[in-house]
Each structure stands twice: as C-alpha cells, then as structure tokens.
Structure 1
Amino acid sequence: MPLFWRIFLLNAVVLITATALLLGPVTVSTPVLLTEAAVLTVGLSVMLIANGLLLRVTLSPLQRLTRVMTTIDLLRPGQRPVVAGQGEVAELIATFNTMLDRLEEERATSSARALSAQEAERRRIAQELHDEVGQTLTAVLLQLKRVAGHAPSDLREELHQVQETTRGSLDEIRRIARRLRPGVLDELGLASALKALTTEFTSPGLTVQHHLDADLPRLGHETELVLYRVAQEGLTNTARHAHARRAELALNRTATGVELRIRDDGHGIKDAPEGAGIRGMRERALLIGADLAVGSGPEGGTEVRLAVPAPAPAPVSAPVPDRTR
C-alpha cells in the first residue's frame, strides 16, 4: 500500500473511532469533567503515538537513504543502501541504487577515455621534449664547446659555467620526459621501471628502498601502467609533502593478485582532505578494478596500498580434430 494511503487510513480510523465514541457512550460536559478530560487525553495520546510509530517505521529507510546520498563517493564504488520498507519507499531506494550503478559505469568509461587521452598527450610532449628541446640543447652544448676552445682565457671560465648550466637543463629536460613517458616500462617491464623510479626519487634527504617479489603474475599493459603511475604519485607526495627521511616501495604477490605498497616515515596524512593526486590514483585504480587505501602506516607516516586482482586466465580452446586422414 502506498505511503499516502497508509497514513491517511490510520488517521481516518483513529478519527472515526473518536467520533463514534463521542456520539455514543462518551460525552463531553460543560464544564468538562475530570474523567472526560482523562479519556480525551488518552485518546489524543494514542492517536499521536500511533502516527509517530507509523511515520518512524515508514520513514526510517528514507532517513538512511538521505545519509547515504550525502556521503556517497563515486570513487569508492559499491556503497549501496539496503532496499527496505514497502511500496514507494522500497521503489525509491531501488531506483537510487540503479542510478548509482549507471553513474559509476559512466564515470568509469569517461575516466578511461580521459586518462587514455592524458597518457597520449604525455607521450607526445615527452617526445617533443626529447626530439626538439633535447636536440637543441645538445647542439648548443657542442657549439659552446667549440667556442670555448677558441675563446680567450679570460672568457673560457665563463663559457664553461654556461656549459654546465646548459648540461643541467638538458638533464632536467630528460628527467621530465622520463616522468611523462616511462619508456623503461615498455622496454624492460614493470619491475625494472619501479626500481628506476626508486632510484630517481632517492636524494640526499630521502632514501627510497624497494622490495619486489620475483614470482609476480603476468599483468596487462594497462594494469602495469596504473601500478607505475600510482607508485610515481605516491613517491611524489612523499618527496614533496611528507618531510620523510626514508620510504619503501614494495610489490608483492597475494592470493588474489598483487599488492603495491608505498610507506614513509614522515609526519603522516592526518586529517588533511584528499587532493587531486590521491583522487587521480583512485580514478586509475577504478580502471582495473583495484582497491586503493591511503592512511597512516603501522609505525606512523603515510601508507598507500593498491590491491590489484589477478587477470582472469584466458580460456583454453579445444584442439580442432584433424579430419584430413
């Protein structure tokens, strides 16, 4: 029965009963007698309690739905209110769950397109930096070396300083290009790319160690790229914001797939809101059905965990019988 009719019929029953009593054995005198006031008070109390209980039972699923609607996050899929209640209430909750399914699916599709376009743009920029800017700076270095060989002695030292500045700029351009397009990931695989990443982030103030299992399962290119980008973003946050002296990157095989873990000994994330970097990691994790957790480590600092399910094995096709014999 719809919510409107349930509330209407209950009120109608209570009011009809009260009217029948007033017209029958119950009368109201003037002035009102004590017994009559007691009967009217009890009747009013019964009506209010009945209405309150009905509304509480009927509308409690809507209150739970309201709480879910105000706290839902599409980057944490799977949060669904339980379909409870009857009639229109249950239909409303079921419709909301269907809407969430559609929104999560559409967001995953649009995020995949956006991240694919982002990776393509990164490859293009990295290629231009390497081919155009890198080659130009290399030519400048060669010209400076030739000019320094014929320059007077009083200018030679200044030309050497310009050479060192240009060489430092060339190294920085190459470093940026490597971050934009991890060529080592395509050429040598995920393990070598993660080792190179820890070496890149190791500096005089930060030591980054790596622990990689040797028996990792075969992962697709998209999964390896997500693992690399999450590790890169996690170490970037450690280097920029954590004020840590030591960090650890681990990639371990689990019963259900692999797990990437980045842990540092910095001051921790505490109650800081999630920034664009962490939300970007969550979007990448959704592309491969992985679960990302960011929080405090067991000994302080910050810990990032990415649990990646193992890819489903390819179906084995049955051998085709030889009918030529």
Structure 2
Amino acid sequence: MTLRLKIHLIVGALTLLFLVALLAEQFDGMRKSVNEEVVAANRVAAQMLRRAVWGAAAQGPEALRAYLEGMGRVRSNDITLVDAAGAELYRSPPSTYKEGRNAPDWFEDLISPPPSSQSIQFPDGTLTVRSNASRAALDAWDEFVPLMGQSLLVLLAANAAVFWLVGRAVRPFGRIVVALNEVETGRFDTELPRLPGKEAGAIGEAFNRMVGMLRRNIESERRAAIAERELNDSRELAHWVAGQIEQERRSIARELHDELGQSVTAIRSMALSIAQRARGIDAESERAARVIADESSRLYEAMHGLIPRLAPLVLDNFGLREALADLVERTRRSHPDVRIELDAQLADARPSAEVALTLYRAAQEGITNALRHGQARTLRLQLRVVADGIELQLLDDGRGLPADWPEHRGQRGLRWLAERVESVGGSCSVERGSTGGVRLQVSVPVDEAAEALA
C-alpha cells in the first residue's frame, strides 16, 4: 500500500467519522423535534376535544359523529369514536398532507416516539385520540435525504481534494524512490533536484550528500584497488627481477670460480714453472715470472673474496648455517678488530632455497650496515626456530640510529631487504637496541617456513 493511499484512507476515514457524527446529531435533533411535535399535538388535541365535544356528546353519538366529521382530521392524530357496544362510529380520514408518500419503515421506527393514546369516556361511547407520527416522520425524511446527499457530496469532494493534495505532497517521495532504485542499479551519479516541502527537501539534500559521499568512497576504493594492484605488480616484478639478479649472480660466481679461477691458477702455475726454469739462467725472466705468479695469487684471493658477495655458493652446497658461519669467518678475516659471534640453532630445520637466501642476505646487509654506518665493534648474530617460524636477529654496539632515522627508512638497502622479506611472507624491523646500537630482526612466518622445515 502506497503512502498516498494510506494518508488518503486515514483522512477519508476521519472525514467520514465527522460526517457520521454530524448526521447523528442532526438525526437526534429531528427525532426530538418529531417527538415534541407528535406528543404535544396529541395532548393539545385531546384537551381541545375533551372540552369541545361534551355538548355534542349530550345530544347522542350521532350528533358527536356529525361534529367530528365537520371538524375533520387533526394533524398527527387519529381520532376514533366507538359506541358503548364497541362498534366503530367514526374514524378520522387519512391525511392529505404529502398524500401517497411515506418515510421508510426503518426510518419511521427510528425517529418516531412510541404512540400515545388519549381516551375520552362518554355515556354512550368512547372517543380515542391516538398520535400518528407518519407525516412528521415523512417531513424528517424529506429533510434527511438532502442532508445525506449533501454529506455524500462533501465526502466525495473532500476525498478528491485530499487525494489530489496528498498526491502533490508525496510526489517528491516518488522521485526519491526512483533515485534510490537508480543508485541500487549502480548509477552513483544520480542527484535529486531541490524538492518542494521541508521534509522532502531535507531528505533530498541528505540523499545527495549520501550519494556524493558514496561516490567519493567508491572512487577512493577504486584508486586504492588500482594502487594495490600496481603495487602487487611492482612487487611481483621486483621479486622476479631479484630472482633474475640472483640467478645471474650465481652464474657469474660459478664462471669466476670454475673458469676464471682455473685460468688464474693455471697462469700462476705456469709463471712459477717459468721462474723455476729461468733460475740461474735469466734473472730478469725469473723476476718477471715471479711477479706474474704473485699477481695471480692476489687476483685469485680477490676473486674468491668477490664470489661470496655475488652468490653464496656455500649456501647451495652446505646450507644456511654453514653459509652464515662462512660469512662470519670472512668478516672476521676482513675486520680483525671486530668481534662477531654466531648462534645458529636450526636443529633439523631445512629452509627452502628462497627462504635461506633471504635470511642470508638479511644477515649480509645487516653486518655491512653495522660496520660501514654504525662503526660497530661487537656483533651478535642469532638464528633460531620459533613457534611461528624462523627468526634472524643481529645486535651491534655501534653508534645506533641517527636522530633523523625516520627520514632514512626508505634508503635503498633496507627497502630492498624489507621487500625481499615481505616477498616470502615475512617481516623486517630495524630499531634501537636496549643497550645501544641497532637491532635488526627478520621473521619468516610458519606457513612459509613449513615448506622448508623437516
């Protein structure tokens, strides 16, 4: 049921109740008027006849009947004369007022008072005056019918006016419903014009604000989704590039180790052989050969120092713990004044190649930063299996983080490390140590570590 119909029915019902109350009041007034008229007429007629007919009655019933016939009908009363034996001598003629018409029986029963009867006893008979409300009821009916018609016209006119006015009043709400349906179908550019009426106008303005906010939120979500998709694409690309770089580093490291290493070794061996043959024969050639052998040795040492930085081949061959031990040992050799401790407790855990390489690179980056930027002299590297995965932690006693550290959070090395850790589902944090220095912590969740844990 529509709002318009509901309001129309409510107003129509109230109008009908008002008209019914008005008609009931009018009807009650008519009933009282008929009652007063009929009862009063009956009493007056009885009193008049009681005084007027005694003279005629003294002359006998026939003289009384002649008198009554000459008097005719008394309105609202039926006059009957009977003799002493009960035989009817006279009955007043029917009323000629609105002759041939009568009010409906139900109406006459409702509006007429109970019949009243007055009897006058004579020596030779009885005169009865009985009230008759049929004409008064007909008069009331003739008044009531036009009143009913007018009331019906008023009711119809009021309902038509209410229907039209309510239609105009609720028309803006129809537009609001249409706009809501359009929004439901996905048309978020829908706007309502200024609607007439205080309530409709307020709803229209609230609707426009709501749609505007919804449109902005959807646009923000769309941009966020695009940004997230682009970020994911960038991360995937970065992950792929990092993988390609690692593969290329491994390839270069193996080439250095297998090809160039053997060539440098061969050069050194040949130089030493030449020096041995030239001893005592050609001092200049012997000296040149030994210089070549010494330079080959230095080149070999430099090359073997470069290979772990390119790709930790020991990681592929022996595992994460041995790779970290090799990293620590090389750091000790290159920095004799630095104390570095390793506590690697992996038990039977066997991280996957990607997870192991990520943890190794994290340790490598942390040690490099601690020595290069923090001027640390003591480092402690811990690796252990925890309840939710594998955790690597590096503590140093260096200068700590600078005051403007938040501005350097995006520096390339740490950003690369954080992205690499996130690519395997882990987390990376860098913060001030409890006793100074810096604490680097890398955690790989259990769902990523479980792939590699035996």
RMSD: 3.2
Gaps of 5+ in 1: 17-53, 59-84, 315-325
1:200 paired to 2:336: no
1:281 paired to 2:422: no
Q: In 1, distance between residues paired with 2:348 and 2:232?
A: 30
Identity %, equivalent residues: 29
Distance 1:242 1:134, change over 3 A: same
Distance 1:5 1:207, change over 3 A: same
The offset of 1:4, in angstroms, is: 10
TM-score by structure 1 length? 0.66
CA contact (8 A) 1:216 1:253 kept: no
Pairing of 1:43-62 with structure 2 (within 5 A): none
Q: In 1, distance between residues paired with 2:266 and 2:393?
A: 42
2:383 maps to 251
1:188 paired to 2:318: yes
CA contact (8 A) 1:244 1:264 kept: yes
1:135 paired to 2:262: yes
CA contact (8 A) 1:242 1:268 kept: yes
Pairing of 1:139-158 with structure 2 (within 5 A): 139-152=266-279
* 1:148-204 Cα shifts (integer Å, max 9, x gaps): 223457655675455333212201101211221212111111111111111111121
1:232 paired to 2:364: yes
- The match for 2:308 among 162, 175, 178 is 178
1:317 maps to none
1:108 maps to 235
Distance 1:216 1:111, change over 3 A: farther
Q: In 1, distance between residues paired with 2:287 and 2:258?
A: 30
Q: In 1, distance between residues paired with 2:387 and 2:213?
A: 42
1:301 paired to 2:437: yes
* Letter paired with 1:295: E
The offset of 1:259, in angstroms, is: 1.0
* 1:76-119 Cα shifts (integer Å, max 9, x gaps): xxxxxxxxx94123223322332243123212211121011101
* 1:252-290 Cα shifts (integer Å, max 9, x gaps): 222210111122111123125242211111121121011
2:398 maps to 266
- The match for 1:292 among 413, 428, 445 is 428
CA contact (8 A) 1:3 1:87 kept: no
Q: In 2, distance between residues paired with 1:113 and 1:238?
A: 28
Q: In 1, distance between residues paired with 2:317 and 2:414?
A: 28
Look at both structures and tell me which one has the larger radius of gyration over its CA atoms. Answer: 2
The offset of 1:243, in angstroms, is: 1.2
Q: In 2, distance between residues paired with 1:267 and 1:151?
A: 56
The offset of 1:246, in angstroms, is: 1.2
Q: In 2, distance between residues paired with 1:161 and 1:205?
A: 31
Pairing of 1:10-49 with structure 2 (within 5 A): none
Gaps of 5+ in 2: 1-179, 181-187
* Letter paired with 1:146: S
2:223 maps to 96
1:41 maps to none
2:149 maps to none
CA contact (8 A) 1:238 1:264 kept: yes
- The match for 1:310 among 423, 430, 446 is 446
Distance 1:215 1:100, change over 3 A: farther
1:163 paired to 2:293: yes
Distance 1:241 1:169, change over 3 A: farther
CA contact (8 A) 1:252 1:258 kept: yes
Q: In 1, distance between residues paired with 2:401 and 2:372?
A: 13
Q: In 2, distance between residues paired with 1:151 and 1:299?
A: 62
Q: In 2, distance between residues paired with 1:149 and 1:177?
A: 31
Distance 1:162 1:111, change over 3 A: same
State the aligned residue count. Answer: 247
1:87 match: secondary structure = helix
Q: In 1, distance between residues paired with 2:337 and 2:276?
A: 38
Q: In 2, distance between residues paired with 1:260 and 1:187?
A: 21
- Displaced runs of 4 or more, over 4 A: 1-6, 152-162
Q: In 2, distance between residues paired with 1:196 and 1:257?
A: 24
Q: In 2, distance between residues paired with 1:277 and 1:246?
A: 21
CA contact (8 A) 2:346 2:383 kept: no
Distance 1:9 1:212, change over 3 A: farther
Q: In 2, distance between residues paired with 1:137 and 1:247?
A: 35
* Letter paired with 1:125: I
- After TM superposition, the structure 1 stretch with the greater mean CA deviation from structure 2, 195-204 or 212-221, is 212-221
1:311 match: secondary structure = helix
Q: In 1, distance between residues paired with 2:374 and 2:290?
A: 37
CA contact (8 A) 1:262 1:304 kept: yes
